[in-house]
Amino acid sequence: MKILALTFPSLWNRKFTVLLTILSIALSVALLLGVEKIRTSARASFSSTISGTDLIIGARTGPVQLLLYSVFRIGNATNNMTWESYQDIASHKSVKWSVPLSLGDSHRGYAVLGTTSDYFEHYRYGRKQQLEFASGEPFDDLFHAVVGSEVASALGYQTGSEIVVAHGTGSVSFANHKDKPFVVSGVLERTGTPVDRTVHVSLNAIEAIHIGWESGAPQAGKQVSAEDARKMELHPEAITAFLVGVKNKIGIFQLQRAVNEYREEPLLAVLPGVALQELWSLIGVAEKALVAVSICVVLIGLVGMLTAILTSLNERRREIAILRSCGARPGHVFTLFIGEAVVVTVTGIALGIGLLYLVLLATQPIIESKFGLYVGISGLTPYDLTLLGIVFVAGALIGAVPAILAYRRSLADGLTLRI
């Protein structure tokens, strides 16, 4: 134990080199844990986006593509499905409820979703949690809109605010439906899903704002005013996709097969969970690559520690010799070097954990607003502790290399060293 008491004075004597080594290990540990946090948060965020929905049905495309554009608002639909087909399938004996979705417009970079009031009743996220209103209520007027929490906070909206929907999904649009503005009737509670970044309006409103529009542009003499649109009998002609809940779980596959073999038009029905698994299999390679890069960074940090200790080893030959002459045994010298490596590794790990949480606190709102990914600030998981344990053991093993070399230094080698 007395030899270990020399560890801290010995490290302090080389404080600048040791500090750089600790910082290198801390950065690599923070990166390793950060990548793991983002990876698990991304999976949790995607998995909790939709719950309690048995099937997603839309125009025939890939299962992952249908899931991405209908639920996550990523990408665009290759085609729409007719309203008649929706009504036909929605009246199937197996269907308990259905929620139509119409996408294609936006508001200042946020997706505009046309749907019905059933959306707020049947849509579930997380552990089958229902959408709740922070203020206001669902739309009950043709030009009412319900905004997600992020839309409200980012743009400063509240109930009664007026918004204008833009044609198309780009963040900047020169084709706006200025003649038919919407009034915010409600603001949803935060969900941590794409719902937070969505403006919800009625399907009839989507039809109303596009009266007189052809090929993405208004046609002279064909547009109508907002008041005239209220008097018209509006019916959707097409929708992007719709969500389905079935009466009996046994009927899911029967309904899926009926949709996939639908003769009126090519349609696709997918199970959200199956589509998610397919998505994970596609991005699994990227996840593994990120983890591999993080591990390489940690190894580089540990090799840096080894290099720093080996570089100072030759300079410490007289120190070792003096310790030996004072009665220190080779095992004591070995213990001293191992102790230094352990202290540096543990300090680097602790600093890396602290650095990770500081970065998460500072960047969490930015990551959520820019990428729609909620990275929860929670304690270390058993897997995180396993990774840190591996880093600790690796640091101790790497520290054993210079310890063995110091162990083999002879007393005469140190005492006869010329300076």
The domain spans of the chain are 4-46+285-415, 55-270
Report the alpha-carbon distance of residue 240 to residue 115 in Å, rounded.
10
pLDDT at 34 exceeding the cut of 70: yes
pLDDT tens digits for range 290-341: 778 878 878 887 787 777 776 666 666 666 666 655 655 665 667 777 777 7
Report the alpha-carbon distance of residue 122 to residue 98 in Å, rounded.
8
The larger pLDDT score, comparing residue 9 to residue 191, is at 191
**Which backbone phi and psi does 89 adopt, to 5 degrees?**
-70, -35
Look-up of token digits 């820019």:
370
pLDDT at 4 exceeding the cut of 60: no
Residue 57: per-residue pLDDT: 94
pLDDT tens digits for range 71-103: 888 888 888 999 999 999 999 989 999 999 999
**Mean pLDDT, the chain, whole residue set:** 81
Q: Which helix (H) or strand (E) holds 202?
A: strand 198-202
pLDDT tens digits for range 245-301: 998 888 899 999 999 999 889 999 999 988 888 887 777 777 778 778 878 878 887
H helices of 48-82, where? Answer: 63-71
Provide the b/e sequence for 297-309 (b: ≥16 CB within 10 Å).
Answer: bbeebbebbbebb
Q: Coil, helix or strand for 180?
A: coil
pLDDT at 419 exceeding the cut of 50: no
The one-letter amino acid at 152: A
